[in-house]
Amino acid sequence: MGICSANTMTQHKLTIVHDLATLYPSLRLTESDSFYWSPESQTVHYNPNELQTDEGCWAIIHESGHALLGHATYRSDFELLQLEVAAWEKAKEIATKLQKERVDGIRHMGKPNERAHSSPPTTHHLPPTLSIDEDHVQDCLDSYRDWLHRRSLCPNCSLGSIQVSPDTYSCIFCDHSWHVSSNRFCRPYRTSNS
């Protein structure tokens, strides 16, 4: 996990948020206890205390990916996984654009009339690259894959099954069906249909 030095931490937090808001003016960003995209309020929530780490920067960029793609709802667990994959792909695009803006900002520092703003960019406070680590992406996606797998295991025979509705799975081997929570943040409890 990469961490910025203490004296650049505050500027780093402000820079990533500022740069996202500048590059994507339609984004609504607000401080929170965790990172998530709320389609109801059309807001990306982020934890400012975690923005000094690479993972925190990647998280706010990822949630911004959900926002820019207009992700709202999903009808199945597999569709949720597809939305996560798409958001990570968008996050890579966003990171590339942020990196380009940073390089352009450094290239134009001190050259009058070449940038729209008069104050020098603060991009030098960001880590050397915003490139999103592919291992991190796969670890995040694995957490969804593992969650989906646990939900889909039949509580009767422990074999795989298919999702037949947003909150119901059915085993193709023993014909058993069960309900799962719609909350993707809770343990995958399974309640059997009697």
* Sign of the alpha-carbon torsion through 100, 104, 109, 113: negative
% of the chain residues with pLDDT over 90: 68
Angle, vertex CA 20, rays to CA 14 and CA 26, nearest 5? 125
β-sheet with 43-46: strand ranges across: 29-31, 43-46, 36-38
Supply the pTM of this predicted model.
0.79
pLDDT of residue 14: 59
| Residue percentage of the chain with pLDDT more than 70 | 75
CB atoms within 10 A of CB 145: 14
CB atoms under 10 Å from CB of 79, counted, come to 13
Total Cβ atoms within 10 A of residue 192: 11
How far, in Å, CA of 91 to CA of 107, rounded? 24
Tell me which DSSP letter residue 183 carries: -
pLDDT tens digits along 122-179: 433 445 457 899 999 999 999 999 999 999 999 999 999 999 999 999 999 999 999 9
User: What's the mean pLDDT when you consider all of the chain?
Assistant: 83
Per-residue model confidence as pLDDT tens digits over 110-137: 444 444 444 434 433 445 457 899 999 9
Instruction: Please give the DSSP secondary-structure letter assigned to residue 143.
Output: H
